[in-house]
Amino acid sequence: MLQFSAQQIALMIQGTIEGDASVMVRNFGKIEEAQAGDISFLANPKYEDFLYTTKASIIIINAGLVLKTPIAATLIRVPDAYAAFATLLTQYQSLKSQQLVGIQQPSFIASSASLGENIYVAAFAHIGEQVVIGNNVKIHPSVVIGNNVTIGNDVILHPGVIVYSDCVIGNHVTIHSNSIIGSDGFGFAPTQDGSYQKVPQLGNVVIEDHVEIGSNTTIDRATIGSTHIRKGVKLDNLIQVAHNVEIGENTVIAAQCGVSGSTKIGKGVMMGGQAGIIGHLNVADGVKIAARSGITKTIKKANSVVSGFPASDQVNDLRSQVNVKNLPNLEKRVKELEILVQQLSQKG
């Protein structure tokens, strides 16, 4: 188990120590549950009361936080406690990952495959013909890598990941359990007798650097050409990305979203859970799509915010929701007006 002193941690996150710099920690803990030997953090003021009762040995806090009472734990002050804690977790995970080296048995590695340095291949993994894998790659149990796949450096493929043939994965990519990269796109041509003829899917998937893909996500290969996941994209669990889609740099998509074929999503787009985009559309850079929205038309305005189904400008959509809620009252008022008009007509 890895252990670190407050001094070592402060160097990692460029923080200032208040208290015992030699105190050691070996686990992470939530501030309300942490025990001696744990490190925790406080970023949300909602949890500040726990700062004075926690048993954690080290706590990362914001530089400007004024203490109400003295604290026994060693404090590390940083400009942004949440970001610093995330950095610390990342470095800890990296150190743990570096301990995984070697090839376990039983596993299959084709003789024509090329593997880099510091590789970890777990038992029951399968690596096909002409595969090229870079350095520091971690391949966990039951991963299947098809023929002619290229994988860069510092890639982690968690248990059950399947990468179909001819796909390309860049550097510093993490793909979580049971995700599938490069399965066939949903292409079927109707025939005269009412049946469907499968359209062969001859393309691939290209995933650029610093991408993370959640569990049980599927990215289909292109019919011709490539399905592109650009640099820095983050995909949650349970997402469907169809054939020939392009997702721009640093776009984030939450769970249960679906992107239909040949849609092009710009840079820095944020897509809430259960939202969907129909095929052959374009979404401009920086667009924010609210959860459960349905995108049925191209969005040309960069940095806009849309919601609803069919999706529209969020301000207009919210007004529409208010009006819908008022419909029962409006109906009642209309009926009252109809009665009043009828009474006035009878008097006339």
Residues with catalytic function: 243
Q: Which two tokens stand for residue 49?
A: 């009361």
**Are the beta carbons of 76 and 16 closer than 8 angstroms?**
yes
Q: Which two tokens stand for residue 207?
A: 């995933």
**Are the beta carbons of 293 and 306 closer than 8 angstroms?**
yes
Q: Which two tokens stand for residue 57?
A: 């040995």
**Are the beta carbons of 131 and 110 closer than 8 angstroms?**
yes
Question: Distance (Å, rounded) from C-alpha 85 to C-alpha 206?
Answer: 31
Instruction: Identify residue 196 by its one-letter amino acid code.
Output: Y
**Are the beta carbons of 231 and 213 closer than 8 angstroms?**
no
Report DSSP letters for 160-190, one per residue.
T-EE-TT-EE-SS-EE-TT-EEEEPP--EEE
